[in-house]
Structures are given as C-alpha cells and as structure tokens.
Structure 1
Amino acid sequence: MRPEDVDIVVNTHLHDDHVGWNTRLEGRDWVPTFPNATYLMPQRDFEYWRPENLHNTVFGRGNQNVYEDSIDPVVEAGLVETWDESYTIDSHLRLELAPGHTPGASIIHLESGADRAIFAGDLLHGAIQVHEPHINSCFEEDEEGARASRARMFAHAADNNALVLPAHLPGHGAFAMRRRGSGFELTDWAPFACT
C-alpha cells in the first residue's frame, strides 16, 4: 500500500504522538503524508489546541509546533473534516467522544456481526488502569472527565464482550475484560502476530 492509497486518517485526539504521521517534511515544507485521505479530527481538540489558546492548557505552548507542522498543512490542503459527539465512518466503525485526556479525546468502536472491539486511544496509558480505572496518567487535561470516560469505555467493553485495543500498553494485541465488584479485570489477552 502506498500513502496515496489511504483514504481516511483518524486522529483520536491532537497530541503530538497521535498526529505526527499526518505530515512529512518535503524540502522545507510540511505536506500531508496521505494526500488523498480525509483526516478526521475532533472539533473540540481542533479548537482547544489552536496556538492562540495554548495558555489555557496543561501542556501550554509545548503543543504549538504540533499544530503548525502536523495540523495546519492538512487543513490548508482541504483534507480535514471535524466532528463532535460521534461520527460514523462506515457500517462497522464509529468514533465516539470520550473527553478527559483532552476535550476532544475519542475512542473508535468496531462492530462486525458478533465481533466487537474498542480502540482506546489515550484513555488507557498503563495496565494498572484496567484494575484501577480511577488512576490517571499525568497527561490529562480534565482528570475527572478522563476517569468518567475510562469507566464508560470499560463498562461498555465488559457488558458487550468487546476487545479493548490499547494504544500505549506494550506488546501487540487486545484484551477482554469483565466486571469485578465495583471495578473491572482483564480476562484474556488476544495477541496479534506482527509481520
């Protein structure tokens, strides 16, 4: 597959480690990595991370260059579509707002027949959070919001037999979970082979 073949890029939120592949350096200019793609961005993050608003954020001005080199070039190319609350990509994939980590942080639901999965984005940074979902990372813009969104995601996964695909846990795979008392526990790890 070539970069020109990619038709959708999902930014679950607009931190540097989630938008860095949006663009590539060509000479002295940042250009879209995927020139034929629609870049889906949460509207709330799109507004929140604008350089003129950074004085109000946890990361402050540290995210300014991210907007300038990884977001502005795809906006200028007319490739960005923003969304709020939820966004249906197709009959199997749906984005859902899960604020807390950032105002526009989101998760992706995958449903195909009886198979279900949730791409967790940055709602999950460490394995301890599976058993202790009230524990936050140091990167949350809204700590209470992150806890509430993580609890909703885990409840949905446990109640609907959905695998959770973490972005920041080591290894390749997903896990199944169930309710345990007032919390949750991991029941099975589903590793994926890397080729």
Structure 2
Amino acid sequence: MPPTAAHRAGPTGTGMAWNLGGIVVRRIDEIDLPPDTGAWLLPQATKDVVDEAPWLRPDFADTDVLRLASHTFAVEAGGLRILVDTGIGNGKSRANPAWNNLDTDYLERLTAAGFPPESVDLVITTHLHTDHVGWNTRLSNGLWVPTFPRARYLTSRTEWDYWATADMDESRRQMFRDSVHPLRDSGQLDLADIPEEGLEVAEGVRLIPAPGHTPGQIAVELRGTDRSALITGDSIHHPVQLSHPHLTSGVDINPAQAVRTRNNLLADLAETDTLLLGTHFPQPTAGVVRSWDGRYRLLSEPGAEIPPTRP
C-alpha cells in the first residue's frame, strides 16, 4: 500500500549547507515523509535488518521504522545556481496520498537560501519519477508553466527515451503532462548523452550513470577545491542500504542492476573524504562512507548554516 499523507517540514530557513571549496551545496527541505513510507519503499528493511545496523538510530530510523524525507539540493558552482531534482511540488493531483495536493513553503525556503526561481540557471533531474520533478512547474492562470523561467532543465537522453515508449499508467502520464511536457513545450528541456566516464555540465559538476532504479538515472558528482560530494538520486534511497546494499525498492525497474550500481558507488566512496548526500536521507542528510563490521556505514556530517549568496 502507498504511504499515508506526508508531514510538513519545519520552519522556513536557509537549512544546512556544505562548503566543498568553491562549491556550496544546500539542502532545501520540502516535507518529511510519513512513517509507513519505509515499509512501502524498502519492504525487506524489517526491524531485524535495522537492528543489524545500530548506527541508524536515532537519526535514520526509529525503533522499527525508517525515516525518509523529500528535499532537493541547491548548488553554487562555477558562477551558476544549480538545482538537483525538484521534489514533489504543490497542488498536483497524485495517486500517492503522501504526494497529493501538497501545500508547502518550498519556494520560500529556496528563495531564503539565495535561489529565487528567476535566478536558477540549471535544473538537473536525476530521473523522471514523480517525487523528483514536481517543482519543475507551477500553476499560473490555470496552466502548468516552468517554475524556473530562465533555467535549462537537464536529464539523460536514456531516461527520456525509456519513458517515451514505456506503458505508463494514468498517474504517471499525469505527472508527465503537468511536470515534464511543459518544459519540452517551452524549449527548456535539454537531453544529454551520459558516457560511462560521466559528463561535466558545469565547472566541478559531473553527471555519472547510476542505472537500475530507472534505466537512465544519474548521480551528480561535485568536485570542490577542498573535497568532493556525490548526490545519490535514488541509487541509495536510505542509509540502511549501506549496511545492506542488496535491499531493493519496490519501484526499482531493474533491481539487479540497481544493486550493482549501489555496490559500485559504495566501493568507490568507502574510506574516502567524499561526502555522500542522500536525496531521501533525513537529517543529517550527509556523511562519509566507512567500512563497518564487514559492511558499510554512514559517518554523519550534518553541515552548517552558511549565509546565502544573493544573486
């Protein structure tokens, strides 16, 4: 069963940020997802599984419930304002009760962090799922129009091509009508071919293939002068998948490929200084990957309040 209604995030503010050296990445909160989301999304992540990774509590799990959130990442890099994914969005008719007709202050949070919609240069979509494209558009005079009027919206061509021929149910077709097709119609949608070695789309910003959850999913690597970071998309839904990389989501299109992608990413990140930024991780959201008891764990780095740079 899909989750119940979601919870609003806390008061509007600039949120947590991480300075990588020449690149600043900020978490922009949308909502805290309801407690039953974890069981729906990762049904194999039972209490016994969570018990095997006690470091998950209290930040990432309650006694027997995974904690998840919807947020996006706002990145200042190379003189550009870049948004990675756009969450669920407001006022959109969705089959999932947790996403249906939301009314959050996400845009106010984004503006408070120094990213008013008209200042955004680039929107990177890790994959074309409903909870990653919602703020692509907003309702204006009865029409869904691009929220970020001067931005280029970038996703992988493999992702677009898959959904262009997929047999979609009505709820997914509705999502494309209100959150994706208006970008195509405005001429702001840009499709990129992502080679195995990745594609640099701005100074210090590289898209890398992360298939499995969807065929064309990408992760976003940020390379600052001091350290690097990786924004996961849904290649890692929750930190429990560090301890148990074999856990798959009920909405993974190719579960076996998703596991391979996750194992490869974790092997590359382990014991490095690279910051892992989880798209659905609850606070503290970020950390470094370390070997732990024959598995992996996340050593949290909560970030700091960094004053926004005004456009």
What is the TM-score when the length of structure 1 is the normalising length? 0.89
5 Å-filtered alignment, 1:42-81, equals 42-50=156-164, 53-55=165-167, 60-81=169-190
Map of 2:277 onto structure 1: 165
Alignment of 1:154-193 (within 5 A): 154-158=266-270, 160-180=272-292, 183-186=295-298, 188-193=299-304
Instruction: Kindly indicate whether residue 206 of structure 2 is the aligned counterpart of residue 97 of structure 1.
Output: no
| Structure 2 Cα separation of the partners of residues 192 and 181 of structure 1 | 26
Unaligned runs of at least 5 residues, structure 2:
1-114, 307-311
What is the letter of the counterpart of residue 78 of structure 1? G
| Deviation for aligned residue 1:4 | 1.1
Q: Write the distance in 2 (CA, Å) between the matches of 1:21 and 1:47.
A: 22
2: distance between equivalents of 1:128 and 1:141?
A: 20
Q: CA deviation at 1:153?
A: 1.2
- Alignment of 1:34 onto 2:148: yes
- How far apart, in 2, do the equivalents of 1:34 and 1:73 lie? 12
CA contact (8 A) 1:163 1:176 kept: yes
Counterpart-to-counterpart distance in 1, 2:239 and 2:116: 34
Counterpart CA distance in 2 for 1:189 and 1:159 is 13
Greater strand fraction, Structure 1 or Structure 2: 1
Q: Secondary structure at the match of 2:187?
A: coil
Instruction: Write the letter of the residue equivalent to 1:131.
Output: S
Between the aligned partners of 2:116 and 2:152, the Cα distance in structure 1 is: 15
CA distance in 1, matches of 2:148, 2:274: 30
Query: How much has 1:47 moved relative to structure 2?
Result: 1.8
Q: Which residue of 2 aligns with 1:16?
A: 130
Runs of 4+ displaced beyond 6 Å: none
SS of the counterpart of 2:150?
A: coil
Paired residue secondary structure (1:155): helix
State the 1:66 CA deviation.
1.1
Q: How does 1:127-146 map to 2 (within 5 A)?
A: 127-146=239-258
Percent identical pairs in the alignment equals 34
Deviation, structure 1 residue 180: 4.6
User: Hey, what does 1:6 align to over in structure 2?
Assistant: 120
Whichever of the two has the greater Rg, that structure is: 2
Displacement of 1:184 after TM fit? Answer: 2.0
Paired AA for residue 138 in structure 2: R
1:49–1:64 CA contact under 8 A, matched in 2:
no
**Any unmatched runs of 5+ in structure 1?**
none
Find the residue that maps to 1:49 and give its secondary structure. Answer: helix
Q: 1:147 aligns with which of 259, 270, 275?
A: 259
| CA drift at 1:25 | 0.8
Distance, in Å, in 1 between the alignment partners of 2:204 and 2:271 is 19
Structure with higher helix content: 1
The CA deviation at 1:193 is 4.2
2:162 touches 2:215 (CA, 8 Å); kept in 1?
A: yes
- Structure 1 residue 159 displacement after superposition: 5.2
Within 1, Cα distance between the matches of 2:245 and 2:287?
A: 15
Partner Cα separation in structure 1 for residue 272 and residue 204 of structure 2: 15
Counterpart residue number, 1:119:
231
Query: Separation in 2 of the partners of 1:90 and 1:160?
Result: 23
Looking at structure 2, the residues matched to 25 and 176 of structure 1 have their Cα atoms a distance apart, in angstroms, of: 39
Q: Give SS of 1:149's match.
A: helix
Aligned to 2:36: none
RMSD: 1.9
How many angstroms apart in 2 are the aligned matches of 1:6 and 1:28?
Answer: 23
TM-score (ref. length: structure 2): 0.57
CA distance in 1, matches of 2:247, 2:267: 16
2:180 counterpart SS class: helix
| CA deviations over 1:137-162 (Å, ceiling 9, x no partner) | 11100001110111111112115431
The SS at the match of 2:220 is: strand
Counterpart residue identity of residue 117, structure 1:
A
How many Å separate the matches in 1 of 2:210 and 2:253?
12
* Distance in structure 2 (CA, Å) of the matches to 1:61 and 1:175: 38
